[in-house]
Amino acid sequence: MWRNRNVWIVLVGEFIAGLGLWMSIIANLEFMQQKVPSDFLKSLILFSGLLAGVLFAPLAGRIIDTNPKKTVLLLSGAGRLVAVGFMFVALYFDSVWWMVLFAVTLQISAAFYFPALQSVIPLIVREKDLLALNGVHMNAGTMARILGTTLAGIMLTLMSLQGLYIVSFVAYAALLLTTWFLNVPENGKQQARTNREAASSVPPAETGTDAAGNGGFKSLMPVLHRQPVIVAVLLLSVVPTLFIGAFNLMVINISELQQSAQIKGLLYAAEGVSFILAGFLVKKVADRGKPLNRLFLFAAVVAVAQCLLYFADSPVWSLVSFALFGLAAGCFFPVASTIFQKQMPKPYHGRFFSFRAMLDRVMFQVILLSTGLLLDTIGLQRMVLVYGGLSFVLVALFAWRESRAPRRDGDDKAGEFV
């Protein structure tokens, strides 16, 4: 796998994209802090971008499935450059509205880029290398997040906002350049032939649409019905998302509870280091048994991490909680992605990963709003018990349903990584 040029291009591209993304996020927060006094208006600006990503997800899925994925990656990369260009206009005119346009354009580009990238990964490596690549790929994104936020914080003390956006623009331009050298084994007739072959595993009578990509999300439903393991993993993903959606608000509350500004950085570091470590360990851990059973274990560890935050007034226990979460989530997501990539027929990858991204955005917003409400009404320590209890219930429910599910053809291999 490591001799594969495409693998290195994908990893370097993810790292560069992450650097640019997090630098622009920090710059956006600084710009809003200067120009938007209302926290509610700030949340509306952030929400506008996420909403645009949700609205464009169905279109993105169809386009990814009916066009060469490299072309989609290149165009979405160019869209990011256009988005940063809007931010230069916002700085010049001192206008928040241009920043809203920036947020919307950036999220629309992301709605195309990330599902297309998830669809490319199974095309450039063998199936037995999927789990390892998914783990390292997530590590590249995590390291970019840590380094990007750190560098952005330092740069804000040394240069203007315009300088930070220039660095972000250069990063996105480098991403576009690296994507140009990507060699995805699909084009024209070859892609159509691949779609037909993979679609043969899904009876036309059940899909009710053209598997080559003419249907939207509705065409996914019959496929998901025949792949209950995918539905189970999608629903189980609610557990780590409960922690992720509340992450920043919990960090702020823990800092206030302990009356320590330094604990914020330590919590982010504990989670980030554990997440990276998990990316290197996940293949060894997941190879020991059915991956779906391992997902139940990882989700249960996330629930334990939630409950441990009942002792959030203790620096030691709060750090243990975030480190446990990083370890469990760093194993959960690569295994989940590998199951999706292997079990979902390739002609539906674009629509499925767009559908998943849309669900993630909606779920994230719901959890974010719920977290804010619960923090205001019952406080952090009771809230984490509610989230932890809900997580345990979900894990137990899905594990019970899986144990009672009738054996289906290919079940013995469906959950295994060869």
Note the pLDDT tens digit of each residue in 48-81. 777 888 788 878 888 887 888 888 889 998 998 9
CA-wise closest residue to 151 among 133, 179, 170? 170
Residue 203: the pLDDT is 45
Residues 6+ apart with CB under 8 A from 284: none
Q: Among the listed ranges 40-49, 113-122, 237-246, 301-310, which one has the minimum average pLDDT value?
A: 40-49
244 and 174 within one domain = no
**Residue 204 forms part of a structural domain:** no
Tens-place pLDDT, residues 156-182: 778 888 888 888 888 889 888 888 888
**Residue 414 forms part of a structural domain:** no
Residues 6+ apart with CB under 8 A from 387: 242, 243, 246, 306
Of 129, 159, 186, the position where a domain reaches its end is: 186
Is the separation of the CB atoms in 288 and 331 below 8 Å? Answer: no
CA-wise closest residue to 66 among 343, 350, 342? 350
247 and 147 within one domain = no
pLDDT confidence band for 38 (50 / 70 / 90)? low
Residues 6+ apart with CB under 8 A from 375: 249, 253, 383
pLDDT confidence band for 323 (50 / 70 / 90)? very high
The answer for 379, left when phi > 0, alpha when psi is -120 to 50, beta otherwise, is left
268 and 322 within one domain = yes
Q: Among the listed ranges 88-102, 116-130, 183-197, 344-358, which one has the minimum average pLDDT value?
A: 183-197
Secondary structure (3-state) at 216: coil
- Which 3-state string (H, E, C) describes 135-158? HHHHHHHHHHHHHHHHHHHHHHHH
243 and 167 within one domain = no
Q: What residues make up the domain containing 133?
A: 5-186
Secondary structure (3-state) at 373: helix
